[in-house]
Structures are given as structure tokens and as C-alpha cells.
Amino acid sequence: MVCLGNICRSPLAEGLLAAKLPPNKFIVDSAGTGNYHIGKQPDQRSIMTAQKNGLDITNQKARQFTARDFEEFDYIYVMDNSNYDDVIELAKKEEHKKKVQLILNDLFPGDNVDVPDPYYGLQNGFDMVYEMLDETCNILAKKLIEKHP
Ligand code: 4NP
């Protein structure tokens, strides 16, 4: 799960997807394309939104996406079109580019819709992001479980 800061959207996406998959079968991680928040806990507003919904994301620590992630992960889900461009720029092989997908394309196929960046907004932006990610991760988890039984 990749966003810009790895403190607002992708920590929620990581927590949500991990909670929907059987434990010990999949590795779900997140990273940011930017380096501003390396080592930090998720934003308090993401932590609060998750907590309200019974999800604990306090153990996460921000890190930056690196080209090594193309080798280590089978699927790379980005939150918005700008994350998509930044990640694709780091891909040197066609097979790596193919791993990168916009996360909302599972919910709205082919529409290339962004998960809006809630960082500069209010708490309700985080609630909206949570709802979108919850819905798309339901579809995603189902697909992954079917593909990797
Ligand atoms: P995120 O949100 O990409 O969902 O983690 C942001 C967090 C921090 C900044 C931008 C977006 N920032 O500019 O510091």
C-alpha cells in the first residue's frame, strides 16, 4: 500500500487489508513515496479513525518506498495517480510496472479514481477515506484469497 507520506492513507489501507486476510498467509505492508515522515507513527487522525472502527494501526512506522519493493511484493497498490506516476518512475522492468495498480480500481474498475489526500483537511476526510478503503479492500481481499487459496 503506497501513498505520499505513509502516515494517513496507506497505513489505513495496510491495517484494513491485513485484517481481512487470513493471518500468516500474506504479508501486507505500506510505504510512502516521500521521505518527510520516515519512522513516524500514523497521523493521529488515521489512528483515531481506525480505532473507532476497531482497528489498531499504532504499531506501524512510516518508511519510504524503494525499488527493492518491486522484488519483495507481488502487488503494489497506490492511493492516487500522483503516487502511481512516482512509483512507475522507479520501475526499471515491465514486470515491475505491471504490479502497480490504483487501489480504487477494484471498486471502480478502469475509472482511475484517487483516494483523496486527507492530510490538510478535517477528521471527516479521514472517515471518508476509511470507508472507501474498507469497501475496496473487501473486494481486494476476496480476489487475493481466491487467487492464492
Ligand atoms: P498520506 O498523506 O500521503 O496519505 O500519508 C500525506 C501526509 C503528509 C503529507 C502529505 C500527504 N505531507 O506533505 O507532509
CB-based contact 140:106 (threshold 8 Å): yes
For ligand 1, atom 6, the nearest C-alpha belongs to 5
Integer-rounded Cα Rg, in Å, for the chain is 14
Q: Is 3 a catalytic residue?
A: yes
CATH superfamily of 2-147: Response regulator (3.40.50.2300)
Q: Does the pLDDT of residue 28 top 90, yes or no?
A: yes
> Is the CB of 6 within 6 Å of ligand 1?
yes
Q: The pTM is what? A: 0.97
Name the DSSP letter for residue 77.
Answer: E
pLDDT at 122: 87
Q: Is residue 31 classed as helix, strand or coil in its secondary structure?
A: strand
Q: What is the pLDDT of residues 94-133, one digit of tens each?
A: 999 999 999 999 999 999 999 999 999 988 999 999 999 9
Q: Are 18 and 60 within 8 A, CB to CB?
A: no
Q: How far, in Å, from the CA of 53 to the mean position of ligand 1? A: 22
Please give the grid coordinates belonging to residue 78.
Answer: 497506490
Q: Is 80 a catalytic residue?
A: no
- Domain layout of the chain by residue ranges: 2-147
Going from the Cα of 36 to the center of ligand 1, the distance in angstroms, rounded, reads: 8
Residue 79 has pLDDT above 90, yes or no: yes
Pocket of ligand 1, candidates 49, 117, 129: which has the most ligand atoms within 8 Å of its Cβ, to mutate? 117
